[in-house]
């Protein structure tokens, strides 16, 4: 699998995970990416999660941001699970 394909898969599946498990909308994810310093327009993010065209640089930065957001979510979940056992 090419790195570009892997980044697309991370974006598409990562957004669906955040959407299903956390109820995040596109705007919520875009705002969280903005907090991380990754600026992406709503139109560009929409194209990326529909697996349409996107520049290589934007693909890499958005894929990295999605992974960070998911990582934070998973760490928080683990901490809460430990706290309330």
Q: Read off the pLDDT of residues 8-56 as tens digits, 9 standing for 90 and up.
A: 999 999 999 999 999 999 999 999 999 999 999 999 999 999 877 778 8
Give CA–CA dist 63/40, Å, rounded: 12
pLDDT value of position 47 = 93
**Whole-angstrom distance, CA of residue 65 vs CA of residue 81:** 24
Asked if residue 29 lies in contact with residue 45, where contact means CB atoms within 8 angstroms, the answer is yes
Higher pLDDT, 3 or 52: 3
- Do 33 and 40 touch, CB atoms closer than 8 A? yes
Q: Please, where are the H alpha helices in 36-84?
A: 42-49, 56-83
Check pLDDT > 70 for residue 84: no
pTM value is: 0.84
């Amino acid at each position: 699998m090419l790195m570009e394909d892997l980044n697309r898969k991370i974006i598409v599946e990562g957004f669906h995970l955040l959407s299903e498990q956390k109820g995040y909308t596109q705007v919520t994810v875009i705002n969280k990416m903005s907090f991380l310093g990754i600026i992406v327009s709503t139109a560009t993010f929409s194209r990326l999660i529909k697996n349409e065209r996107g520049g290589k640089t934007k693909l890499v930065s958005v894929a990295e941001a999605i992974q960070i957001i998911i990582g934070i979510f998973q760490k928080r979940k683990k901490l809460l699970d430990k706290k309330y056992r």
